[in-house]
Amino acid sequence: MPTQNDRRAFLAAAGAAAFGLPFLAGAQPNETRRRFEQAQQRNNNIAGDGPVVIASGNGLETVRLAQQLIAQGGDPLDAIVAGVKIVEDDPNDMSVGYGGLPNEEGVVELDSSVMHGPMHRSGAVAALRNIKNPAAVAREVARRTDHCMIVGEGALKFALRMGFKEENLLTEQARQAWLKWRSTLNRDDDWLQDDELDLPVKDNKGAQLPSPSGRGWPSKARSGEGQSSLASSQYPGVDETINGVPYTTGTIHCSALTAPGADLAGCTTTSGLSWKLPGRVGDSPIIGAGLYTDNEVGSAGATGRGEAVIQICGAHTIVMRMDAGDHPQDACLYALQKIADCTKVQRLLDERGRPNFNVVFYAVRKDGQFGSACMRGVREFAIADSTGVRLEKCATLFDD
Ligand code: GLY
């Protein structure tokens, strides 16, 4: 015998289906209502005539510049590579390019990919050291080689041959953050923590200062016992700090449409997961994961935990959903739900069995519709269209 709740769920799901929201089928009533309201609030933008450029929240200046360049007749890929360069060059964004947080050995390794819609060409570099603008190197891979990806030493050699300048990408701020991470890994190793350094034992009036807590205390930063907080302004661009140590999977993604019905391009560029194993490659340079562009359909990309995005082929999944008729925001939510469904190991789940990490997807469709969604919390994306340049709030899969 169907209960009242069953009936409500059925009606909500039927309503959702009528509104073209197939991802809602089977959802619980409260969840269905929340997502339904979110879908009603979503951006039903009537794209004017001009370019539409979407990026992650750190890309406000990126979308502004890319929109201008496309409006002046520039190629969409050239425009977004120029746009993301602003963030790659910015020492204060610790998740991308120069100033990005390094790997476990204190070396900055960058990943990037690009796709050019009209010719369906792609290029990528991964684990690239000493070159500030991996997106521009990835574009050269697409433009000047028959390959799709070049990594590590080979990527550096390729970049140098293309005329890129080799430089140290580790800023003093990022080095200090690495030192803090390294020294708080294990109380019993030979890296001293702040409270073990040779600090004065008396203040300038001669009074005794509290003594340091000493060695032998378990304080591994990621033990789960640490004080976790959202990133502070001390570490711009990072996702969170644990016991004062910054962690990031931050990245910049940017996708552009030259005009509704016209051409698309996409680019994702990152310094990747902070403190990663040397050679670790995330989703950003993987075509179909951190970026996918189909000139007949749309373009999508990701920021956040790359391993999760790779395991569901995130950007490709979103473009395929848009091809099947989804609004870009719904396609992003679908991919996030897929990640949630596929996340099964305990260390990646919160107390309610939901992913304890974040992923944010961004998408623009060939007709100019756009959208973005994050796994949890409050996130923003940058958008430039005929109504202006602004930040908008991402939809959220789990909002409590
Ligand atoms: N999404 C960036 C990374 O995981 O490397």
Residue 221's nearest CA partner among 279, 174, 181 is: 181
The answer to whether residues 314 and 361 touch, using CB atoms and an 8 Å cutoff, is yes
CB contact set of 118 (below 8 Å; sequence gap of 6+): 263, 295
* Å from CA of 249 to ligand 1 middle: 5
Phi then psi for 36, rounded to 5 degrees? -65, -45
Residue 241 Cβ contacting ligand 1 at under 6 Å: no
pLDDT above 70 (res 388): yes
pLDDT above 50 (res 22): no
Give the global pTM.
0.82
Tell me the domain boundaries of the chain: 43-171+248-398
Amino acid present at 299: S
H or E segment and range at residue 180: helix 172-183
pLDDT of residue 192: 79
List alpha helices for 19-112, DSSP H: 29-41, 60-71, 76-88
Mapping DSSP onto H, E and C, the string for 129-162 reads CCCCCHHHHHHHHHHHCCCCEEEHHHHHHHHHHC
Residue 97 Cβ contacting ligand 1 at under 6 Å: no
Residue 273 Cβ contacting ligand 1 at under 6 Å: yes
Percentage, residues of the chain above pLDDT 70: 78
Residue 270 Cβ contacting ligand 1 at under 6 Å: yes
Mean of pLDDT over the chain: 84
pLDDT above 90 (res 215): no
Mean pLDDT for 112-129 is: 98
pLDDT above 90 (res 64): yes
Architecture per CATH, 43-171+248-398: 4-Layer Sandwich (3.60)
* Å from CA of 56 to ligand 1 middle: 13
Phi then psi for 338, rounded to 5 degrees? -60, -45
Mean pLDDT for 156-182 is: 95
SS3 271: coil
pLDDT above 70 (res 40): no
Parallel, antiparallel or unpaired: strands 228-230 and 149-151: unpaired
Mean pLDDT for 315-326 is: 98
SS3 217: coil
pLDDT above 80 (res 233): no
pLDDT of residue 214: 39
* Å from CA of 151 to ligand 1 middle: 16
CA distance 104 to 93: 19
Hey, what are 67's tokens?
């929109």
pLDDT per residue over 238-261, tens digit each?
667 777 777 777 799 999 999 999
Nearest ligand 1 atom to alpha carbon 270: 2
Concerning whether 171 is annotated as a catalytic residue, the answer is no
* Å from CA of 303 to ligand 1 middle: 6
Mean pLDDT for 319-334 is: 98
Mean pLDDT for 220-225 is: 38
pLDDT of residue 227: 47
In the set 62, 241, 251, 317, the catalytic residue is 251
Residue 284 Cβ contacting ligand 1 at under 6 Å: yes
Q: Whose CA is nearest to atom 5 of ligand 1?
A: 272
* Å from CA of 368 to ligand 1 middle: 27
Residue 66's nearest CA partner among 255, 252, 269 is: 255
pLDDT per residue over 76-105, tens digit each?
999 999 999 999 999 988 889 999 999 999
Q: Whose CA is nearest to atom 4 of ligand 1?
A: 306
